[in-house]
Amino acid sequence: MILTRREALVTGGAIAALATLPLAARADGPVIITMKGADNGARVWFSPAGLAVAPGTTIRFENGDAGNSHTATAYSPDIDDRQLRIPPDATAWDSDYLLPGDTFEVTLTVPGVYDFYCRPHEMAGMVGRIVVGTPDDAGFAGAAADSDDLPDAALAGFPAVADILAQGSVEGG
């Protein structure tokens, strides 16, 4: 493969960024977030709920819950007119309903904090947060301010950005 100068520079930057990220973020293939549910249906969640990755990482959402359909949906005015909780320059995504065993992939390139939710289970606190890059990256968009737009259970479900950056991967409460 022949790289253009720009591609070579971008690649070099990504390698430099990887050197500072926790081990969990240094995957060659997609990084997986699993949708889970308790056997009795009393609880549903994303695992992990918080994840740190380098810019350009592909995230694969997998529905590992035999008892429910789930979505992974970015908070954005572009989808159901929700508050923007992803970087302003990023593209919003919606997996639509994933049946048990289904997967959906999205590649995140813009540095910053991305909050997402499961449409049928947001009220139950099924939300997650991905931190792409670090606050040292140019244009890094920090976490959105809290908002009345979200149910309390959702607001309580986002791991702190500092914890995600320190640990690489954070399970929900």
Q: In the complex, which residues of this chain contact Cu ion (CB under 5 A)? A: 44, 70, 118, 121, 126
Distance CA 112, CA 130 (A): 8
Phi, psi torsion values for 167, nearest 5 degrees: -105, -20
Nearer to Cu ion among residue 108 and residue 126 (C-beta): 126
Shortest spacing between CB 30 and Cu ion, in angstroms: 20
Shortest spacing between CB 131 and Cu ion, in angstroms: 22
Report which of 139, 138, 143 is spatially closest to residue 127, judged by C-alpha positions: 143
Nearer to Cu ion among residue 37 and residue 112 (C-beta): 37
Residue 1 DSSP SS3: coil
Nearer to Cu ion among residue 29 and residue 173 (C-beta): 173
Report which of 141, 89, 138, 74 is spatially closest to residue 113, judged by C-alpha positions: 141
Shortest spacing between CB 95 and Cu ion, in angstroms: 10
> For residue 157, how many other CB atoms are within 10 A of its CB?
24
Name the residue with the smallest CB distance to Cu ion: 118
Shortest spacing between CB 27 and Cu ion, in angstroms: 24
Phi, psi torsion values for 93, nearest 5 degrees: -135, 155
Nearer to Cu ion among residue 86 and residue 118 (C-beta): 118
